[in-house]
Structure 1
């Protein structure tokens, strides 16, 4: 391996470490928020209404300024910075910011006007049988729409700062959002009920935006009141964003379908899949999104300078790192899901039945963690290569299968006497695994190789070490079946972590050897 790819990999690793710590902090704050919300509302009718209503503003954000915009904006903006053309870069940023504000404001206004129709026909038709829950969902939807505009601008700021290799502040913004919701549940909810939580979403979105403004001002970019009509760079962002926008729309459609189906199941099913997915996503964010966020600007810069060998090397190293972390996380979530959920959530309105509902969803979501994690890296690599079309087409196929799987598995689970919302989680995991495999094959062709043997060897080593970890955790659960949940959960995490680390050390995994070498140098 040449020195330059090695240096790029070290740059990605350092940035990923920073982002991972910030994301971990955000996940801890987010976990605290979910604990407080669960205690206040349980897995019941009001929380189902809130989660369903939040789906609309979340969809608007993701469609216009979330992953769709970032995947199109960062490569183009980074290209200008790599060529030291700052004037063009900031003209592009200004035009995109103006478009984001205009489009999201219009969509939010339309969402507010047609909120009843959205809930009745597209979002949660199962709530129509309960007029009070239906009316509550409509009102909560309207309150939360303002957050989409704030998140849109904040998402663009994150792209600008990441392109400048500034990762810490953008990575802290999710924790600011969670703090806003915590303010809502602690301060507003006692007087306003579930409406206080909805206003907490808006406050959190504002915190998300404001935190980044000082860092953005330090870049001394010049804002222009323009839409960039006729600007080739703006046209390039729109061109790249088009396919990705379609892909995000299909992913969001899948979430809508799941909410639509779960609204017709037993009360608490909507909250069950939301909380189960959130727990899986905690691990995915800490592992994959931190590495992907740090790696994408490096991939984009390497591609802009024509260094495809460096892209191949950096991408392969990133995938190995993600696999080595996500495999044990999968085993841990599956084996410790019940004590973890009991420890985190079971208090107040969140009872043993709520724990059962969420644990059942988490079981089936957890088996898809590796697929979700690797896919995150592969998708960002395609975007860095200015190819939004390939991952979008693959994603459309996978998410279309997801919808089919969701309907089929939910029906199958119900037929054999299992809670049907677990079928929705299994559908997501299976579709994501298929998507990951196809993206890996296509990326290998695109780069004329992808060090597949190294990646496969890393997966085999991780799986072998995780097998020993899983056996130990199974014994631990059996030996402590009547012990306190905190002992089972925290003790299991400690035991599992030690056994896995010993396993990959015995198997001589290069990454753990490198970490040990760095630690020895630091303390010598």
Structure 2
């Protein structure tokens, strides 16, 4: 098997830096999720919190690291290459200033319309089992005040109004992070989620400890956790600001629609609103459908989706973060061979962890969920429910990761329409698959539908990429994937046997589970690493070389 080029090697090294920072974020995120599970459980208050939290998180993919970054970063790279650094600084200041003003207006509108938004998401709670038309009539009566609103809808609306300004904070943070990434500063932007998690936990746990009655009442606790979301958003913005200013950048508040760079970036964002947003749109659909399932379904889906995002964020999103500025520079330089190498390296690099992590997490889904969530009000039955849903979530992780990388390549080629078309196909597929599967499988069917929808979206992305970049390195990518799948088989068998002999089917408390699970994960990782070396997968040798250099062996 041919040795990979230097571009994929550089890709992998940069992605490892981001991945390590993201690993810290995911570990702190696990602790944050455990805190929520202990005090909110999986009842009405937890469902209300997670539905309300999904609204700014859904929109952040459009205004933050998704569409905004994919349109803004190539435009900034192009401006600096053609007009110089000073023009780039002006574009940054005016684009982010325009974005900030738009976000403020959007937040005001979201707060005013929160009752409508949460009503649509929670419509299944108005009259479970009723036809859609009847539920719409009931929602209209609730919004007009002629019918009393259910308590869980009132709580969801109140929490949504508190948390919605987080959209502005996280979007500006993503804008600053995009600039730092373009300048090769990947580590600090990747660490902001860790600061968010830490700030959330300190503020949230402090309220549970010092505010009388907060820990005993899940509904009251949910309000303090909603405030903790905003505290975390402020902290992560302040973490990036000093470095952003040190590099000579700033923000100029106002509406700069006539600035050519701002206009070009916004124009590129328009078709990308659906392209990058396919996954959050599918999550929105899942949230609506889950409102027709039993109480706790929203919490179960949120937690299982969060665990899937942990895998995607740990390495797949890291590769995507690194690949966009690299691919943009290659396109600007007219280096199509380098772009092919970069794409192949990104697709193989993202699968290097996504494939074994999907297998391992599916096999150990229940023990992993019990370690993270089982405490306080989050009991064994909910753990089993979440674990089964997570196993189905794992099926589509590679498809979602691949779609993100291919979309990044299209954005670097200045194609923003194809991802939008792919999003429409994926959205339709998600609705269809969810409707077909949620009846017999419940939350498992909705989780599986998300992955299948991403596969449908890929069927649109790849042919378009082939037209714009002939000779896509399919063979090189598939050879790597094949080796990684083969290496995952003995790993999956090893962790399955270890789980059975280690008694992971029974809950042994947090430390008891941790002392059993973490060594087993380490053994599985070692088995996988040795397997990819034995199969001569080039990325294995890269990792071994990096490890030797770090340890100076």
TM-based fold match above 0.5: yes
Q: 1:127 to 1:430 in 2, by over 3 A?
A: same
Q: Cα distance, 1:253 vs. partner?
A: 3.4
Write the distance in 2 (CA, Å) between the matches of 1:225 and 1:429: 40
Counterpart of 1:417 in structure 2 is: none
The more displaced of 10-19 and 512-521 is 512-521
Counterpart of 1:153 in structure 2 is: 172
Counterpart of 1:416 in structure 2 is: none
**Alpha carbons 1:173, 1:208 under 8 Å: kept:** yes
**Alpha carbons 1:15, 1:167 under 8 Å: kept:** yes
Counterpart of 2:59 in structure 1 is: 60
Counterpart of 1:137 in structure 2 is: 156
Q: Does 1:80 align with 2:79?
A: yes
Counterpart of 1:288 in structure 2 is: 316
Q: Cα distance, 1:349 vs. partner?
A: 0.8
Instruction: Please point out which of 370, 378, 388 is paired with 2:406.
Output: 378
Write the distance in 2 (CA, Å) between the matches of 1:458 and 1:373: 15
Q: Does 1:446 align with 2:452?
A: no
Write the distance in 1 (CA, Å) between the matches of 2:336 and 2:298: 44
Q: Cα distance, 1:88 vs. partner?
A: 1.8
Counterpart of 1:14 in structure 2 is: 13
Q: Any idea what the Cα deviations from partners look like across 1:16-44, whole Å, max 9, x if unmatched?
A: 12111111111111111001111111111
**Alpha carbons 2:275, 2:418 under 8 Å: kept:** no
**Alpha carbons 2:92, 2:249 under 8 Å: kept:** no
Match of 1:433, SS? helix
Match of 1:266, SS? coil
Write the distance in 2 (CA, Å) between the matches of 1:179 and 1:520: 33
Structure 2: 5+ residue stretches without partners: 128-148, 215-220
**Alpha carbons 1:364, 1:422 under 8 Å: kept:** yes
Q: Does 1:490 align with 2:518?
A: yes
Q: 1:439 to 1:477 in 2, by over 3 A?
A: same
Q: Cα distance, 1:171 vs. partner?
A: 0.8
Equivalent residue runs for 1:179-198 within 5 Å: 179-190=198-209, 191=211, 192=214, 193-198=221-226
Q: Cα distance, 1:500 vs. partner?
A: 1.1
Q: 1:365 to 1:223 in 2, by over 3 A?
A: closer
Counterpart of 2:34 in structure 1 is: 35
**Alpha carbons 1:250, 1:400 under 8 Å: kept:** no
Q: Any idea what the Cα deviations from partners look like across 1:426-450, whole Å, max 9, x if unmatched?
A: 1001111232354334323321112
**What TM-score, normalized to structure 1?**
0.93
Write the distance in 1 (CA, Å) between the matches of 2:501 and 2:463: 43
Match of 2:292, SS? coil
Aligned length: 516
Q: Cα distance, 1:299 vs. partner?
A: 0.6
**Alpha carbons 1:476, 1:488 under 8 Å: kept:** no
Match of 1:212, SS? helix
Write the distance in 2 (CA, Å) between the matches of 1:324 and 1:146: 37
The more displaced of 441-450 and 155-164 is 441-450
Q: Cα distance, 1:521 vs. partner?
A: 5.1
Cα-Cα RMSD: 2.2
Structure 1: 5+ residue stretches without partners: 414-419
**Alpha carbons 1:94, 1:226 under 8 Å: kept:** no
Q: Any idea what the Cα deviations from partners look like across 1:36-93, whole Å, max 9, x if unmatched?
A: 1111111111110001111222233332233111000000101223346122212221
The more displaced of 162-171 and 226-235 is 226-235
Instruction: Please point out which of 343, 361, 373 is paired with 1:333.
Output: 361
Q: Any idea what the Cα deviations from partners look like across 1:159-179, whole Å, max 9, x if unmatched?
A: 111111111111111112212
**Alpha carbons 1:98, 1:225 under 8 Å: kept:** yes
Counterpart of 1:219 in structure 2 is: 247
Q: Cα distance, 1:141 vs. partner?
A: 0.6
The more displaced of 33-42 and 254-263 is 254-263
